[in-house]
């Protein structure tokens, strides 16, 4: 168990949080009507419901390796107030935030409905482009977002190969010789994918990296922009890498492989890529999807390495398969023609 998880489980921590929450409520002239209720207590974040006289609020604590999430969320909510669930208050040094309940998420909508995903991804593409300007970019960088430029990724792979393959064979994050060799002999292919994204017409943008229906709010009125939650894993990277998590979720919900000839997959990808028509024709955009999806696995790997900083060996072993899976699968296709 990660050391911060033990802290979150303590009565002392809960009392400290309650004191902070009560102070925020006092500022907003709100009244707490009950005890804070634990709703999610995972290894990497804690979520508590806060009942008040004007409805429920949500308290979130990020793990020490992702303290920037509170600051990033607050900054994004200033830059795009109609797109992000705005916290009432944050404690940046502790990674705490207190946010109103904005209502139902997309989990309330039918799971295997292509129209839901078309709506979600088309809106998300607009959100990405709203924040793509130079003025916004600097403010987002200052809020602590991770940056992973495709131009850097070949060097990233080489450095991670050295770390994992050269580690002690008994270490939880050791990468076996066969998997390491497979990556090493295919470095030219990895470089080619990186070059396609680096030299392509689409600039780097915000990449949520954990975009699924639970992190998107149902709009209060028809036609209103969607609001987004949970920016702990967010990168500044190639925008099409954002499709990795949605497509994995779609494959599970639809109980199907990600066949690019499947009309449902065609419609979903088309709804997203159409929003990038200013950067090129549909065929040009589509050619960048598969490289971006494969290289998104390196962002996933970076997230896991970030989360594992400072944890004990038991936690390392618990998540070892998750840490190594992105490297093992890096060369595997995502969109598979039947």
Structure tokens at 81: 């107030």
pLDDT of residue 236 exceeding 90: yes
pLDDT of residue 336: 85
The fourth-level CATH superfamily of domain 3-100 is: Phosphorylase Kinase; domain 1 (3.30.200.20)
Which percentage of the chain shows pLDDT scores above 90? 90
Structure tokens at 137: 């970019």
Is residue 289 helix, strand or coil? helix
User: For residue 266, how many other CB atoms are within 10 A of its CB?
Assistant: 14
> Which ranges in the chain are annotated with CATH 3.90.1200.10?
106-328
pLDDT of residue 335 exceeding 90: yes
Rounded to whole angstroms, the Cα distance separating 307 from 124 reads 26
Rounded to whole angstroms, the Cα distance separating 83 from 100 reads 14
Q: Please list, in sequence order, all residues whose beta carbon lies within 8 angstroms of the beta carbon of residue 268, skipping any fewer than 6 positions away.
A: 114, 117, 118, 121, 250
C-alpha distances (whole Å) from 27 to each of 60, 95, 100 are: 19, 20, 14
Q: What is the mean pLDDT of residues 82-91?
A: 96
pLDDT of residue 1: 59
Of 288, 286, 246, which is closest to residue 266 (Cα–Cα)? Answer: 286
User: For residue 27, how many other CB atoms are within 10 A of its CB?
Assistant: 9
Rounded to whole angstroms, the Cα distance separating 177 from 33 reads 58
pLDDT of residue 41 exceeding 70: no
> Which ranges in the chain are annotated with CATH 3.30.200.20?
3-100
CB 190, CB 154: distance < 8 Å? yes
Structure tokens at 140: 């987002």
Of 21, 36, 28, 74, which is closest to residue 54 (Cα–Cα)? Answer: 28
pLDDT of residue 107: 94
Q: Please list, in sequence order, all residues whose beta carbon lies within 8 angstroms of the beta carbon of residue 224, skipping any fewer than 6 positions away.
A: 82
Q: Is residue 121 very low, low, confident or very high in pLDDT (cuts 50, 70, 90)?
A: very high
pLDDT tens per residue, range 244-280: 999 999 999 999 999 999 999 999 999 999 999 999 9
Which residue has 């017409």 as its token pair?
201
Q: Is 337 left (phi over 0), alpha (psi -120 to 50) or beta?
A: beta
Structure tokens at 260: 């690019």
pLDDT of residue 202: 97
Name the pTM for this structure.
0.94
Domain 106-328: CATH architecture, name and number where available = Alpha-Beta Complex (3.90)
| Alpha helices by DSSP H, 148-226 | 153-165, 177-185, 187-199
Rounded to whole angstroms, the Cα distance separating 120 from 245 reads 13
Rounded to whole angstroms, the Cα distance separating 186 from 205 reads 27
pLDDT of residue 273: 97
pLDDT tens per residue, range 132-172: 977 898 899 999 999 999 999 999 999 999 999 999 999 99
């Amino acid at each position: 168990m990660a050391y911060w998880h033990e802290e979150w489980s303590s009565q002392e921590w809960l009392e400290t949080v309650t004191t902070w929450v009560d102070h925020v409520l006092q500022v907003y002239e709100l009244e707490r009507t009950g005890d804070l209720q634990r709703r999610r207590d995972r290894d990497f974040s804690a979520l508590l419901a806060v009942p008040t006289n004007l409805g429920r609020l949500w308290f979130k604590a990020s793990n020490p390796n992702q303290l920037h999430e509170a600051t990033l969320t607050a900054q994004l909510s200033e830059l795009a107030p109609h797109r992000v669930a705005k916290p009432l208050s944050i404690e940046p040094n502790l990674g705490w935030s207190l946010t109103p309940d904005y209502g139902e998420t997309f989990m309330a909508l039918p799971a295997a409905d292509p129209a839901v995903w078309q709506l979600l991804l088309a809106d998300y593409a607009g959100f990405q482009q709203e924040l793509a300007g130079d003025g916004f970019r600097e403010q987002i960088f200052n809020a602590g977002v991770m940056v992973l430029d495709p131009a850097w990724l070949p060097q990233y792979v080489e450095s991670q190969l050295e770390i994992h393959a050269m580690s002690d064979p008994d270490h939880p994050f050791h990468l076996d010789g066969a998997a390491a060799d497979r990556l090493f002999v295919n470095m030219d292919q990895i470089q080619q994918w990186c070059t396609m994204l680096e030299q392509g017409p689409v600039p780097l943008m915000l990449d949520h990296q954990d975009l699924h229906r639970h992190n998107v709010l149902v709009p209060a009125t028809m036609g209103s922009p969607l609001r987004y939650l949970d920016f702990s894993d967010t990168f500044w990277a190639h925008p099409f890498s954002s499709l990795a998590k949605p497509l994995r979720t779609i494959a599970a919900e639809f109980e199907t492989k990600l066949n690019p000839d499947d009309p449902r997959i065609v419609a979903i990808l088309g709804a997203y890529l159409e929003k990038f028509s200013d950067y090129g024709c549909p065929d040009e955009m589509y050619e960048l999807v598969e490289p971006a999806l494969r290289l998104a696995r390196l962002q996933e790997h970076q997230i896991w390495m970030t989360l594992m900083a400072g944890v004990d060996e038991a936690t390392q072993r618990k998540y070892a398969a998750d840490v190594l899976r992105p490297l093992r699968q890096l060369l595997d296709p995502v969109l598979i023609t039947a």
